[in-house]
Amino acid sequence: MNCKEVFQSFEQLNVIIIGDIMLDRYLNGRVARISPEAPVPVLEWGSEENRLGGAANVALNVRSLGATPYLCGIAGQDAESSIMLDLLPAYGLEDRGIVCSPERMTTVKTRVIAGNQHLLRLDKEQTHDLTSAEAAKFMHTVVGLLNEKTFHVMILQDYNKGVLSAGVISRLLEEARLRNIPVAVDPKFRNFWNYKNVDLFKPNLKEVKDALQMPIDSDLGSLRKASELIRHRLENRITLITLSEKGAYLDDATEGKLYPTHRRNVADVCGAGDTVISIASLAMAAGLNKEEIALLSNLAGGQVVEKVGVVSVDPSQLQKEILSALLQPE
């Protein structure tokens, strides 16, 4: 693998990211005492920060890696959607793929943090599927983008917030097939089995256990069996199962292999899945082999868990880690 050439190839890619967008809000402060009203800590407020989350964080990772992202999702018509839309230009993202609906609220995940310690997360959201009118308007927006640009990969980022319903998924997969766009999926439980014939299917181990409803360990034999069951039902090309601190399992039907991760100081696992699907999708679209896809995914996912909160990958640090990994003896 020529690291420089890989990242140069990413710069040639247009990526359409479709799924559940959200606002990640961080309330940071200091805990110095316990409340006299209840046995809970009192947070002395320090700062508040809003970041792009969910599918929007995937778009940030894609942008950080040098490719051109086009983000499509649903927001409400509320104060939080205004904040989200105002954040997009600062990160080089357009809002043309965002549909704002008066019938929904913008998804907001508020994390209360003292130092580097998470104290609480508050979710403000609606998780029901889009109405038929919302789905029609959303698909009209997405298809308009698909007709206008040449895309090299489609990423479907599902957080079970209602955008990727069974009907919308079916329509998106058909649109991708008509245009020969490879599809990568980061699934959740509700629509796990609706992503038929995709190119890259990236669940984590918990999602696989929940979908198959059977005990699955992180050993090679158990993961190979799980991958076979998934491929039998979905007929996907590549299965990438992330295993948290144990790395990843990648199976392309010819061979399945475990790829252990490098030792890390884990501060926060939030957003690691977004980073992995981003770089794995770009690597697949750029024609890299499965060993290279696994290496990049492990290194990029491992990098972001060392930082507090949802962050995107640092490409310069990633390139240094790739070169270091390639120089290590087998």
Catalytic residues: 274
**Which amino acid is it at 183?**
V
Joined together, the tokens standing for residue 171 give 């329509």
DSSP type of residue 13: -
Tokens 């927001």 correspond to 75
For 64, residues 6+ apart whose C-beta sits below 8 A from its C-beta are 312, 313, 314, 315
Residue in 73, 173, 80, 165 with CA at minimum distance from that of residue 128? 165
Backbone angles phi, psi at 174, to 5 degrees: -65, -40
In three-state secondary structure terms, 114 is: strand
* Cβ-Cβ contacts under 8 Å for 255 (sequence gap 6 or more): 290
3-state helix, strand, coil in the chain (%, to 5): 40, 25, 35
CA separation for the pair 195, 230 (Å, rounded): 11
Type of residue at 241:
I
For CA atoms 294, 172, 286, 224, the dihedral sign is positive
* Cα–Cα dist 141/104, whole Å: 17
Q: Are 142 and 178 a contacting pair, CB within 8 Å?
A: no
Residue 150 has, within 13 A of its CA and on its CB side, a CA count of: 3
As given in the structure block, the two tokens for residue 195 are: 């992503």
Strand ranges across the sheet with 108-114: 41-54, 21-34, 108-114, 117-124
